[in-house]
Amino acid sequence: MTNRQQAGGYRAVLTGASGGIGAAIAARLAPHCALLILVGRQRPLLEELARQLRGCDVQIVCGDLCDPHTLGAIAATARASGGVDLLINNAGVNSFHAFETQDPATIRAQVETNLLAPMLLTRELLPLLGTAPNAQVINIGSVLGSIGFPGFAAYGAAKAGLAGFSQALRREYADTTVTVRHFAPRSTRTPINSSAANAMNRELRNAEDTPEEVADAFMAFLAGKAATQTLGAAQRFFVLLNKLLPAIPDKAIGKQLVQIRKHLPR
Ligand SMILES: NC(=O)c1ccc[n+]([C@@H]2O[C@H](COP(=O)([O-])OP(=O)(O)OC[C@H]3O[C@@H](n4cnc5c(N)ncnc54)[C@H](OP(=O)(O)O)[C@@H]3O)[C@@H](O)[C@H]2O)c1
């Protein structure tokens, strides 16, 4: 049992459970849970995942997180199951595309799914989380929320917003039993990345993790006390450099623009 875990295990909500990183987290988290509520839009995938999980009560909420009814259904399931003490806002969407010609609906979907939905779900569950002796909200961000990158303007903006939300809410709840944390993977081999994004990553030799590696790092983060974590030593250095001396990443990324544009849908 970790320092934050309740006796009997976590009582967790995991969004994006049917995705690459979500399913890998679910597999590792389930043995440490008393209750695990899996959220996604594809019931067959969630049911298949639930069949594979052992050691805890598994519940499914199927719905779109951009629909307020889904947020209400998650809260109702959490209440009916006896409460929750861990919310993992992991669901996300990403579209690698030239910003000027990106469909407004796609821009909106990225902001709504990656930023607004986690904010509103957190708001919905805070009263319940506040009744647990110790509770945490963990928002899954991205390195691209700290380092703006061509082709990811909308996604990066939403993930930067999620990092800001996590920090402000953590400070707002500093004198309560609820902790708000932020975990930012780097590029990971999952369906969220289009073939164009994968081709660009290969050409730029960007480091890529497997979902299992990310889930292992997540479990270590969950057991620890850090408020935030970015995966990858090189990425952590680049994030710091980007904060202190942004002109250096401006120049470095500028030198990659010809290669990036080769792959960027427009
Ligand atoms: N893979 C990477 O390179 C990478 C890097 C950094 C950060 N991340 C972040 O890691 C998280 C997990 O991503 P992933 O790589 O595992 O992607 P993924 O395999 O595409 O999974 C995304 C998950 O989010 C769910 N989802 C998306 N939109 C939703 C909506 N409107 N309502 C409900 N569920 C929704 C999907 O459910 P459906 O089955 O319903 O589609 C799916 O379960 C995301 O927040 C992503 O931004 C990923």
Q: 36 CB less than 6 Å from ligand 1?
A: no
The phi and psi torsions of 38 (rounded to 5 degrees) equal -95, 130
pLDDT of amino acid 5: 52
Helix or strand run (H / E) with residue 229: strand 228-230
Q: 91 CB less than 6 Å from ligand 1?
A: yes
Question: What's the pLDDT band for 3 if we cut at 50, 70, 90?
Answer: very low
Among 65, 188, 193, which is best to mutate for testing ligand 1, by the most ligand atoms less than 8 A from CB? 188
Question: What's the pLDDT band for 1 if we cut at 50, 70, 90?
Answer: very low
Q: Which two three-digit tokens encode residue 73?
A: 């259904």
Given a contact cutoff of 8 angstroms between Cβ atoms, the answer to whether 9 and 33 are in contact is: yes
Please state the rounded mean pLDDT for residues 113-130: 98
Helix or strand run (H / E) with residue 41: none
Among 190, 218, 236, which is best to mutate for testing ligand 1, by the most ligand atoms less than 8 A from CB? 190
Is residue 78 predicted with pLDDT exceeding 60? yes
Instruction: Name residue, tokens 């805890």.
Output: 56
CA of 109 to the centre of ligand 1 (A): 12
Given a contact cutoff of 8 angstroms between Cβ atoms, the answer to whether 148 and 155 are in contact is: no
Given a contact cutoff of 8 angstroms between Cβ atoms, the answer to whether 153 and 99 are in contact is: yes
Q: 29 CB less than 6 Å from ligand 1?
A: no
Given a contact cutoff of 8 angstroms between Cβ atoms, the answer to whether 157 and 107 are in contact is: no
Helix or strand run (H / E) with residue 252: helix 247-255
Q: Which atom of ligand 1 is nearest to the CA of 113?
A: 31
Residue-wise pLDDT tens digits, 135-193: 999 999 999 999 999 999 999 999 999 999 999 999 999 999 999 999 999 999 999 99
Domains of the chain: 10-263 (3.40.50.720)
Distance CA(139)–CA(90), nearest Å, equals: 6
SS3 of 57-77: the string is EEEEEECCCCCHHHHHHHHHH
Query: Which residues are annotated as catalytic?
Result: 155
CA of 38 to the centre of ligand 1 (A): 13
